[in-house]
Structure 1
Amino acid sequence: MQGYFGKIEALIDVGEVLWYAVGVCEELGVVRQSYHFTPLFDSPTSERTVVHAHGFDPAWLKYYDESDFRKSDPIPERVMAFGAMLTWEEAKKIAPNSSENEVFFDAMRKNGLIHGFGVPLFGPRSRNAYASFDFGFPIERVPERKLGIVRSVSQAAHQRVCVLLESTRDRVELSQREEEVLTWIVRGKSLSVIGDILDLSPDTVKTYAKRIYAKLGSTDRVGAVVKALKLGLVTA
């Protein structure tokens, strides 16, 4: 376990931390996972929340990116309020469900999202987050050791993300066009779609994205988005 923690502590890029945690969980048998980095005083299913998802069907992720559909998901908030791990099925039953919730649950079932579980992640200055994991079969069949490593590594990775963000207080100056591109990146749009929206060529958008990543000191999209939200460079 100490080896995992030592590796996480040595990483200095938010994106690298998240992908390292994803890799560890995959090696342990997790088939899909998500990390919801939520702005302070916001909901883990708001449109401003950055969702780093891996292993989910692209069609499901497209649905989840739609703000109204995402907001109908009560599981993250229920897990955070409970303050401890809950299976998705337990979270469904812990409180009364609206008709929107039931529609969301039905969509989960149709997409094979049945056996997963949610975990609250706690960080400094109330910088908490939600994570979900799915081994593809009931949690009762998951060895306790594997479950413990998944939960511990995800908690350590979240705390490292918080530390890296807190250590970054430099003012980042973006041009007006870079701000426009960053806003659409934060909203989850692909670079090709951003090009269509802003009437820019794909190569031009890629150039702007590289500049933005460099200014934010990140090597990938997720790290840049998380840092942009922390610095208040975008609001949605």
Structure 2
Amino acid sequence: MQERTDYACVANMIGDVDAYARDMRDSEGFAALRRVCITHLPGFGAVMFSYHHLPPPGAVDYSSALTVIAHGFPTDWVNRYIKEQMYRHDPITRLAMDVSEPFWWSEAGNAGAISADEQAYLDTLAAAQLGDGLAIPVFGPNGRNGYCGVGFGKQATGLSYADIKQVQWVCQLGHQRYCDLLKMQFPDGEHLTGRETEILEWVAKGKSNSVIAEIIGISPHTVDTYMRRIYLKFGVADRVTAALRGLAIGAIK
């Protein structure tokens, strides 16, 4: 990624690292977590912030709709983004999931192949004149990932590679805390017994109930019984969804 060197480097942006880490750790709810982010991010020169949570298929909160939290963006842009489901054609979020390094919104067209609809979205974004910002991928447990957009508005800013990595660290820490808070809300009835875990792991490997029965030395009828118990615990109705759910919550590997 090319460093921006045409503007003065923003030094010591993060301010008190210890304070941020402590406040993040001590946030006991989503509202508190949001306040921590809003309080600390301006120290980087950021004026806009968005967070897109991307739970994996099978997770209890999985949905085809995207969970978007935004701060500092113009209200009309946020409303339009959600109402028109612009996230369906926003390539920035998708491209961020394919890389480990942040990139600038203005460079999204060079970050990978994009469709005509995605290019149309980038044109719409440019026309909105929101300024530039960083696209930052964040990663969590069991494939529970996300995207942070940190906007710097129309005021151009120069960030060194080290500066950008600090911003990425702040976003990653916030995402991990968000995942921790989500985990506290998940129902307790999803824990599998050792035998249920063993069977579901074979299901995830594509084995049929009859084959699983032969592998672990029990009857196919008993495997069927275990599968019904798994369905009940996970609140699902088929083996594929059960396997996805197990992988999503870390019940199987």
Which bracket does the TM-score occupy, shorter chain normalised?
A: 0.5 to 0.7
Which residue is equivalent to 2:43? 27
Deviations 1:21-75 (A, max 9, x none): 1221123321111000122139xxx852111011111111122103542211111
Q: Which ranges in structure 1 are unaligned for 5 or more consecutive residues?
A: 172-229, 232-236
Q: Within the alignment, does 1:123 sit opposite 2:165 as a pair? A: no
Residue type of the partner of 1:60? W
2:151 to 128, 131, 134: 134
Tell me, yes or no, if the aligned pair for 1:79 and 1:120 is still in contact at 8 Å: yes
Aligned to 1:199: none
State the match for 1:18 in structure 2: 34
TM-score by length of 1: 0.64
Alignment-derived partner of residue 151 in structure 1: 168
Q: Which runs of 5+ in 2 are unaligned?
A: 1-16, 189-247
Deviations 1:70-122 (A, max 9, x none): 21111111011112211112222222332212221111111113421100111
Q: Which residue of 1 aligns with 2:3?
A: none
Q: CA deviation at 1:146?
A: 5.0
Instruction: Specify which of 32, 36, 41 is matched with residue 52 of structure 2.
Output: 36
The match for 1:218 is none
User: How many residues in Structure 1 have an aligned counterpart in Structure 2?
Assistant: 170
Change in CA separation of 1:68 and 1:4 when aligned onto 2, cut-off 3 Å: closer
1:7 counterpart letter in structure 2: D
User: Do the aligned residues in 1 keep the contact of 2:90 with 2:118 (CA within 8 Å)?
Assistant: yes
Q: Percent identity?
A: 26
Report matched runs for 1:1-236 at 5 Å: 1-41=17-57, 48-136=65-153, 137-138=155-156, 141-142=158-159, 146-170=163-187
SS at the partner of 2:50? strand
Q: Rg bigger for which structure?
A: 2
Amino acid at match of 1:79: A
RMSD, matched Cα: 2.7
Assess, with a 3 A threshold, how the Cα gap between structure 1 residues 96 and 114 changes in structure 2: closer, same or farther. farther
- What letter corresponds to residue 36 of structure 1 in structure 2? H
Letter matched to residue 47 of structure 2: V
Q: Is the 8 A contact 2:102 2:168 kept in 1?
A: no
Take 1:146 and 1:23, find their aligned partners in 2: how far apart are those partners?
18
| Equivalent residues of 1:47, 1:67 under 8 A apart | no
